[in-house]
């Protein structure tokens, strides 16, 4: 009976330590895969096509804009005729990207610049100074 209790106790202890080991391995696996920030501060810009765009033109426009230094990614919305791209503002400016884009492809397009009303509205979060969030944000202004 004593050996049976000893085996049972050792089994419980082994299962406990095995559980701890599995938990530790799981935590290391989950927390170890965090991607480190690249340090880039990316911004988005938009180019509107003034004429209808087909998929061939869209692919050509995307390849042209992605070949420009400082541009990271581009997406073309074919039905709406819009090209959105991300760029590093330390390396590029939207006007310079657009000029290079036009030189490389001679597209019928224009750089989108928001109206002063849209630019002034900005992010709608915390615009109401009487709301709780607006008051909290007011403390940091």
At residue 47, the pLDDT reads: 94
CB-based contact 93:69 (threshold 8 Å): no
Q: How far apart are CA 134 and CA 55, in angstroms?
A: 45
**Regions of the chain with pLDDT less than 50:** none
At residue 127, the pLDDT reads: 64
At residue 140, the pLDDT reads: 66
At residue 40, the pLDDT reads: 72
At residue 104, the pLDDT reads: 87
At residue 26, the pLDDT reads: 85
Residues 6+ apart with CB under 8 A from 137: 126
At residue 32, the pLDDT reads: 67
């Amino acid at each position: 009976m004593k050996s049976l209790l000893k085996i049972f106790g050792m089994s419980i202890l082994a299962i406990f330590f095995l559980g701890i080991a599995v938990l530790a391995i799981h935590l290391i696996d989950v927390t170890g895969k965090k991607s480190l920030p690249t340090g880039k501060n990316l911004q988005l810009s938009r180019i509107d096509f003034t004429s209808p765009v087909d998929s061939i033109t869209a692919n050509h426009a995307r390849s042209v804009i992605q070949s420009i230094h400082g541009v990271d990614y581009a997406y073309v919305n074919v039905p709406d005729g819009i090209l959105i791209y991300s760029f590093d503002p330390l390396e590029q400016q939207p006007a310079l990207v657009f000029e290079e884009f036009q030189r490389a492809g001679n597209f019928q397009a224009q750089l989108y610049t928001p109206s002063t009303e849209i630019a002034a509205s900005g992010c709608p979060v915390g615009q109401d100074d009487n709301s709780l969030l607006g008051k909290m944000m007011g403390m940091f202004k």
